Structure 1
Amino acid sequence: MHPILAKLRSQLIVSVQADEGSPLREVSIIVALSRAALLGGASALRLRSGEDIRAVRAMLEAEGKNVPIIGLTKNNHPGTDVYITATPDEVREVAEAGADVVAFDGTDLPRPSTVAQLVEVTHAAGVLAMADISTLEEARAAYAAGADIVGTTMSGYTPHSPRQPGPDFALMDALHAEGLPFIAEGRLNTPELAAEALRRGAHAVVVGSAITRPDHVTRWFAQAVRGV
C-alpha cells in the first residue's frame, strides 16, 4: 500500500470547499477553515482549485505540517455533466498546485476524457489517482483502469445512483464485500455516521458540509424549525 494511503487508514479527511457566491469563497477563509479542521483532528484535506491547494500547501509548509491533500477542480464542460477534474489539463493543475492525490469523476457519465486517460496523466504527474464513483460497477472499472483508490462521492448524483437522504451504506457494503478499498464520502453529516462508515469497511471518511459549510448546516436547522 502506498504510504499516503496507509497514513489515511481509518482517519478523518475534511473537505474544505465553498461554492461560488458563498461568502466563504475566499482563499484566506479556505486556509483558515483548513487550519481549524486540522486543529480539530483532521488527518487530511480535500480541496478544490489550484489556488486553494497552493495556499493551503504554503500554510502547511510554513507550519511544518505533513498533511496529505486530495485535490480537484469543479468546472462545467459543454456536452457533459462531469465537472470534477474532467480533463488532463485539470489533473495537471491540481498536481502542480501541490496535491498528493488527484480526485476526479470516475462515473460512467458521458465524459471529455476516459478514466484511464485521467489515471495515466495523474500517475505521470507523480501523484495518486482517486476516482469518485457512484456504483459498484464504476468502482470495478476504475480499479481496472489503474485508480489507486475510489470514493463514494458521486453516490446520488448519477442516473444509476438515486438520491437518498443518508449515506449510501449499501454501496459501501458492496465494495467491502468485493474487497475493493474505498473512501466513504457523501451525507456523512454526524460523527455516528462517519464511524459507521468505518465499521462498514471504509479505508477513511470524508466529511465536508457538516464541518466547513455553516450555510448548509444552518439550512438544516432552519428547515427543521419551520417544520415544527
Structure 2
Amino acid sequence: MKKNEVLNRLRGGLVVSCQALETEPLHSPKIMARMASAAQEGGAVGIRANSPDDIAEIRRAVDLPIIGLHKVDYPDSEVYLTPTMKEVDGLVKVGADIIAVDATARMRPGRLTLREFFTAVKQKYPDRIFMADTSCYEEGVEAKALGFDLVGTTLSGYTEYTRDVKLPNFDLMKKYAETLGLPIVAEGGIWTPEQLRAAFDLGVWTAVVGTAITRPREITRRFVDAMRVFG
C-alpha cells in the first residue's frame, strides 16, 4: 500500500495492539494472529504488533495495516522499542506497513542519539512509513523535524521524566494535534470507550488500544485490584 492509502485507512478508526511478551500466557504468534482476526471482525482499522514472527503470522490472518515494532533489550540503553537498525531491518523484511520507533530523548544502544539513528534509518529506507513513539511535547517536535510520518503519545508516563503524568495524556494529544501538522496517534492508558471518544474529540488521527482489549491477565488484575479497594 502507498503511504497515503495506509494513513487514510487508519484515519478516524481504532488500532488494536496485539502483543504478548514471553512472560505472558498468550505469548504465541498464532494466538496473536487470532487476536488480530477478532479485532478485525470487531471493527479495528489496524493492528499494532511486536516482533517479526508475530507480524508474519498476523499478516496471514488479516488484511489490515500493521504498525510493527520489535522490543529488544540492550545492556547499554533504556530504549527497547525498535532500538537498532537490526530491528528495523527485520520489520521491513516481514512487511510491516508502519514501523514504530522509540523517539524519546534517551540514548540508544551504542550511545547513538535519536537523530543519529533515524538519519541512518531514513537514508536506508526513504520510502517507509515511520511512527515516532514519544513521551513529551519536545520529542514530538523533534520527531517532526527528523521526518517521522506519525507521532504517538505511546511512551508518555514510561520515561523517567514523565513518570508523574496522568494517563491517558490528553494534554499532549491536544497540543500535538493543534501544532504538529502530522497524523497524531493517541496511545497509552486508554481503558474506556469514553476516553477513546475524548481522544478523537481532540483531533487525533487514530488511536491505539491494547491492554484493555487484548491482555486478559492485566484486565483480570484490574478487576481484582478494584475488589480489594472496595472491600
| SS of residue in 2 equivalent to 1:82 | coil
**Is the 1:87–1:118 contact (alpha carbons within 8 Å) kept by the matching residues of 2?**
no
RMSD: 1.6
2:86 matched residue in structure 1: 89
Separation of aligned partners in 2, 1:58 and 1:226: 42
Residue deviations 1:169-207, cap 9 Å, x none? 111121123144310000011111011101011110000
Mind listing any 5+ residue stretches in structure 1 that lack a counterpart?
Answer: none
Q: Are the structure 2 counterparts of residues 119 and 167 from structure 1 closer, same or farther at C-alpha, using a change threshold of 3 Å?
A: farther
1:176 matched residue in structure 2: 177
Q: CA deviation at 1:165?
A: 4.7
Q: Are the structure 2 counterparts of residues 70 and 41 from structure 1 closer, same or farther at C-alpha, using a change threshold of 3 Å?
A: same
The count of aligned residue pairs is: 223
| SS of residue in 2 equivalent to 1:13 | strand
2:107 matched residue in structure 1: 110
1:55-134 equivalences under 5 Å are 55-60=57-62, 65=63, 67-112=64-109, 113-116=112-115, 117-118=117-118, 120-121=120-121, 124-125=124-125, 126-134=127-135
| SS of residue in 1 equivalent to 2:31 | helix
**Is the 2:36–2:61 contact (alpha carbons within 8 Å) kept by the matching residues of 1?**
no
**Is the 1:91–1:122 contact (alpha carbons within 8 Å) kept by the matching residues of 2?**
no
The alignment-based identity, stated in percent, is 39
Q: Are the structure 2 counterparts of residues 119 and 187 from structure 1 closer, same or farther at C-alpha, using a change threshold of 3 Å?
A: farther
| SS of residue in 2 equivalent to 1:141 | helix
Matching residue's letter, 2:132: A
Residue deviations 1:30-81, cap 9 Å, x none? 1110100111110000000000011111223xxxx3x100000111112211
| SS of residue in 2 equivalent to 1:143 | helix
Q: CA deviation at 1:212?
A: 0.3
TM-score calculated relative to the size of structure 1:
0.92
2:198 matched residue in structure 1: 196
Separation of aligned partners in 2, 1:12 and 1:27: 21
Q: Are the structure 2 counterparts of residues 122 and 179 from structure 1 closer, same or farther at C-alpha, using a change threshold of 3 Å?
A: closer
| SS of residue in 1 equivalent to 2:15 | strand
TM-score calculated relative to the size of structure 2:
0.91
| SS of residue in 2 equivalent to 1:160 | helix
Residue deviations 1:103-131, cap 9 Å, x none? 01000012134434336525744420111
Separation of aligned partners in 1, 2:31 and 2:46: 17
1:148 aligns with 2:149: yes
Residue deviations 1:126-172, cap 9 Å, x none? 42011100111000101101111111000001122124453001111
2:46 matched residue in structure 1: 44
